[in-house]
Structure formats: C-alpha cells, structure tokens
C-alpha cells in the first residue's frame, strides 16, 4: 500500500494528528499526480518523543552494529533504485535516466562512503592521562530540499546513523515521495523503532516546530539562505547546533590560456545540469574581455544543443524546473537581464516554442554582464548563465569573491600551478580546478551566507558528534 498520506514515527506508519493534504505536482505537465499529508506541531512532538526514547539505546550502540545497519540500508536502497528514480522524475521533473544515474546514484555513493568511513573512524583517543571521546550529539532535526533530494537525505541520514544519533526528517513538500520510499527502505533494513522518523510538512509549521523544539539537539538544514536564517533564529532560544548548506552564486574563471572550445561548453553544461537547479552551479563565467566574442559563439552553440522536454521523453536533456514559483522567479530574472542591458546570447523569456504547458525554461545565456546586474548577484536556480568580461585575472578573482555567497568556485587554466594559486584566493568552500569529477570524500559546505558546517564522508560525520574530555581517565 502507499504510505504517501502517512508519517513514519516510532517504527510504524501512522496517520497525521490533524488531517490535511497537499497535491504533489508533476512539473512536466503541471498536473497533480499524488497527495501527501501536511504535518503539525503535534506530529513533530510525537516524532521527537520517539527519537528521544530511541536515543537512550541507539546512542550507546557500538560502531560495528551501526556499520551492519548501514550495510543493510544500502542493500535495500539498491533494490528500490528504480522506485526512487521514478519518484524523483515525476516530482521534480528530472529526466528518468538522469534521475536513476545521478539523483539515485549520488545517494548510493554517500551511503557507500559513510560505510567506508565508519569502518576505521576513531571515536576516542588518549591525551596524556585523559581520554577525548566523540559521542553522538543526540536527537537531530533534518530538513532537506527538492533539487537533489536523495543527495541531501543520504548525506545527512547516513552520517547521523553512523554517529549514533536519532532523528526526525522533514523533506521538501514539493518533492516528498522519494523520502517516503526512503523511510520504507529504512524500515525494511531493520532500523530500530524511533531512530528514524519522517514527518512531511511545510517550513513555517513542521520546520519551525523542529527548529524550536527543546528536545532537538541539532538542526541540519539545506535550502535557501532566506529559510536558513529562519531556522537559525528559531533554534537560537534553545542554543542547539545548526548546520546549514545554503545558496550560492558560483564563479567560473576561464584563464586566457585555456582551450575555449572545450572550457566554455563544459561550463555551460555544468551550469545547466539538473535544469540549473544546483546550489553550486557555476552561473557566473568570467572570460577575458578580448575573447568574449569567441566565448559567445561557443556558449550559444552549447546552449542550443540542450533538448528541453518532459521528464519521460527519450531525448530530453533538460527537464522542467520544479514549480510555478520557480518558473516565475526565473522568468523575472531573465527579464531583468534584458532590461538592465545584458546581451541575450541564447534563450530568453518564455517556454520553448513547442512546449505550452509545464515549467520549462529556455536554456539562456547572457553576455556583457556587469557585477551590478541582478543576474550577476542573485541566485537564479535555473538554466541561465551570465558571462562577465574581465580585463585582468586579478579583477576576475576580486569580482568572483564579490558576493554574499561562498559555496563553490571553478578555475580553468592550462597551467596547474596558476590554477592552484588562484584556488587559494577563492572565498568558497570548494574549488574545482579544470572540471574534475565529483568526489563524495571531499567536504561540502560554504563560506559566508552559503552556510556553516560541512557534509560528506568523515566531515559530515564529525558534524553530528559532540566532544567530551574525561580527565583522570588513566592513573597519573
């Protein structure tokens, strides 16, 4: 049976305390295809109480027990991969092959990595006659977004379980069905009752109730900077730890020595991936002013090669964006780029000509963008690239850092030492040199208003641990 209208609390599927439903919209068609229940403070209280009871036992399990549990979760996750991919494709518009290979695949990679990390992780070490111990922080609240839902669920739930924490997850109400399946996976894998709990709902109700709850010891939030600020404010009265992965406006600096015929199309592809709905997307491409016309040609050809269409169409490379709200926001920013004098290179306002229904965005590139324009400052979260010409590399680096965000940066140079030197100057949590492969073992998180704390591998595990010093542990 479907559990879409229920919550997973204390090892069982339960009905909400106060019945209230919301439609789940297929962004490819704008039609509702499912419903979920919206939780209330009462549902959160039940889930937190269950997690608190479970922590009294689970918080003191041995790492070897938690390791076997994670292995069991990974096994069931792999078994349900097709179900997860179909859910993600329908609820957020990801083309089905991309949903399976990338959206589901990235979750698998995080589970595999935390298993690898936990095998050898040291939870204590001697220091003189004292002992330093790393212990689970307790009951954690997890709030995850709609754009890479399984990425964020697994890179929070996996390390939290590895640490010995118990938890309550609130996924995005826009893309919630993959989380329901994930809860089914954890149930089948044998996660003890109360260790993992799922309550669907919106931010102002369930999110606020979690963030302010006195029995939640930590909040781990991924989403917009605006919402992250609200979580931090709600958490402040109970002085709980808050880890945040927020927005971005990442720069991609192309040095004069790179092969522009390769670097520009790769930059466009990285910006447009997941229909531009990635917080670390390289949305600002800095290029030498004297080479901008050349760059424009490559960028236009690259943008025009992206086939936009429904998630289930065989040739679709870019699906829709997730919602009407996102569509309207992106359209407004595209219009602002035109109004503020940027050169429209590809795409533009409106849907592609052959699509009159669905939240489809034309793959859009602007050139002659200046740092004061909205498209250069605001997170667009759609397939829109801004090309900013520079007169010197020093100017490019300065302008690349001239943002309230600091999640990621990208450096392209034929000389590796030049790229390394530039990387040290970037005020960002991750710097990518010459388009490297994604790596689940590298810390992920941001500087400035892109958040605090780090996720992935041992860095994510550390975020869910508290540190205790036991003095006099050994005789002097």
pLDDT tens-digit series, residues 122-137: 999 999 999 999 999 9
Q: Are residues 264 and 235 in the same domain?
A: no
Please say if the pLDDT value at position 476 is more than 70: no
Q: Are residues 199 and 262 in the same domain?
A: no
Q: Is residue 2 part of a domain?
A: no
Mean per-residue pLDDT, 160-182: 98
Instruction: State the Cα–Cα distance between residues 137 and 133, nearest whole angstrom.
Output: 12
Q: Are residues 213 and 199 in the same domain?
A: yes
- Close Cβ partners of 422 (under 8 Å, ≥ 6 residues apart): 253, 255, 393, 397, 411, 413
Q: Are residues 199 and 86 in the same domain?
A: yes
Give catalytic residues, as residue numbers. 245, 279
Q: Is residue 30 part of a domain?
A: yes
Domain containing 215 — which CATH number?
3.40.605.10
Please say if the pLDDT value at position 1 is more than 80: no
Q: Is residue 133 part of a domain?
A: yes
Domain containing 295 — which CATH number?
3.40.309.10
Mean per-residue pLDDT, 97-111: 98
Q: Is residue 211 part of a domain?
A: yes
- Close Cβ partners of 354 (under 8 Å, ≥ 6 residues apart): none
Q: Is residue 476 part of a domain?
A: no
For all residues of the chain together, what is the average pLDDT?
Answer: 98
Note if the pTM is more than 0.95.
yes
| Residue in the structure block whose two tokens are 């590895």 | 162
Q: Which two tokens stand for residue 170?
A: 């609130």
Q: Is residue 456 part of a domain?
A: yes
Q: Are residues 229 and 376 in the same domain?
A: no
In the chain, the number of structural domains is 2
Q: Are residues 130 and 212 in the same domain?
A: yes
Q: Are residues 38 and 60 in the same domain?
A: yes
pLDDT in tens, 303-323: 999 999 999 999 999 999 999
Lay out the sheet containing 12-14: strands in order across: 12-14, 7-9, 196-198, 166-170, 139-143, 218-222, 241-245, 451-452
Q: Is residue 475 part of a domain?
A: no
Q: Are residues 57 and 115 in the same domain?
A: yes
pLDDT in tens, 358-410: 999 999 999 999 999 999 999 999 999 999 999 999 999 999 999 999 999 99
Give residue 475's pLDDT.
76
Q: Are residues 311 and 395 in the same domain?
A: yes
Under DSSP, is residue 121 helix (H, G, I), strand (E, B) or coil? coil
Q: Where in the sequence is the domain holding 30, given as residue range(s)?
A: 7-246+449-470
Q: Is residue 160 part of a domain?
A: yes
Instruction: State the Cα–Cα distance between residues 254 and 146, nearest whole angstrom.
Output: 31
- The answer to whether residues 219 and 211 touch, using CB atoms and an 8 Å cutoff, is yes
Q: Are residues 187 and 277 in the same domain?
A: no
Q: Are residues 410 and 265 in the same domain?
A: yes
Q: Are residues 143 and 67 in the same domain?
A: yes
């Amino acid at each position: 049976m479907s559990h879409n209208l229920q919550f997973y609390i204390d090892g069982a599927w339960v009905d909400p305390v106060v019945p209230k439903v919301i439609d789940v919209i297929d962004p490819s068609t704008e039609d509702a295809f499912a419903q979920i229940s919206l939780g209330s403070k009462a549902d959160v209280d039940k889930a937190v109480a269950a997690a608190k009871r479970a922590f009294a036992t689970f918080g003191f399990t041995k790492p070897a027990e938690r390791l076997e549990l994670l292995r069991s979760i990974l096994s069931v996750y792999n078994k349900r991969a097709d179900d997860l991919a179909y859910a993600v494709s329908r609820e957020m518009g990801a083309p089905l092959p991309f949903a399976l290979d990338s959206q589901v695949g990235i979750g698998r990679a995080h589970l595999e990595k935390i298993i690898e990390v936990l095998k050898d992780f040291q939870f204590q070490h001697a220091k003189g006659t004292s002992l330093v111990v790393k212990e689970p922080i307790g009951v954690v609240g997890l709030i995850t977004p709609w754009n890479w839902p399984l990425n964020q669920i697994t890179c929070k739930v996996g390390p939290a379980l590895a640490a010995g924490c118990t938890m309550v997850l609130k996924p995005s109400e826009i893309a919630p069905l993959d989380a329901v399946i994930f809860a089914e996976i954890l149930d089948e894998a044998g996660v003890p009752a109360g260790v993992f709990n799922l309550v669907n709902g919106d931010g102002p109700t369930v999110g606020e109730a979690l963030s302010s709850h006195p029995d939640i010891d930590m909040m781990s939030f991924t989403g917009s900077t605006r919402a992250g600020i609200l979580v931090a404010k709600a958490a402040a009265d109970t002085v709980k730890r808050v880890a945040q992965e927020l927005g971005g406006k990442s720069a991609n600096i192309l040095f004069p020595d790179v092969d522009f015929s390769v670097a520009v199309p790769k930059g466009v592809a990285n910006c447009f991936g997941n229909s531009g709905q990635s917080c670390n997307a390289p949305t600002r491409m800095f290029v030498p002013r004297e080479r901008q016309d050349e760059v424009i040609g490559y960028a236009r050809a690259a943008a025009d090669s992206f086939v936009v269409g429904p998630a289930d169409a065989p040739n679709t490379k870019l699906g829709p964006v997730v919602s009407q709200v996102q569509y309207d926001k992106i359209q407004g920013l595209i219009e602002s780029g035109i109004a503020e004098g940027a050169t429209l290179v590809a795409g533009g306002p409106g849907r592609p000509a052959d699509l009159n229904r669905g939240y489809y965005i034309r793959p859009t590139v602007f050139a002659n963008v200046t740092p004061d324009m909205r498209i250069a400052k605001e997170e667009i979260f759609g397939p829109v690239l801004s090309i900013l010409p520079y007169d010197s590399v020093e100017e490019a680096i300065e302008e690349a850092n001239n943002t309230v965000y600091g999640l990621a940066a990208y450096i392209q140079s034929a000389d590796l030492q030049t790229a390394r030197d530039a990387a040290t100057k970037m005020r960002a949590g991750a710097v990518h040199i010459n388009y490297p492969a994604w790596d689940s073992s590298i810390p992920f998180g941001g500087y400035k208003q892109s958040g605090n704390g780090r996720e992935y591998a041992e860095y994510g595990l550390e975020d869910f641990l508290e540190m205790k010093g036991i003095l006099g542990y050994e005789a002097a």
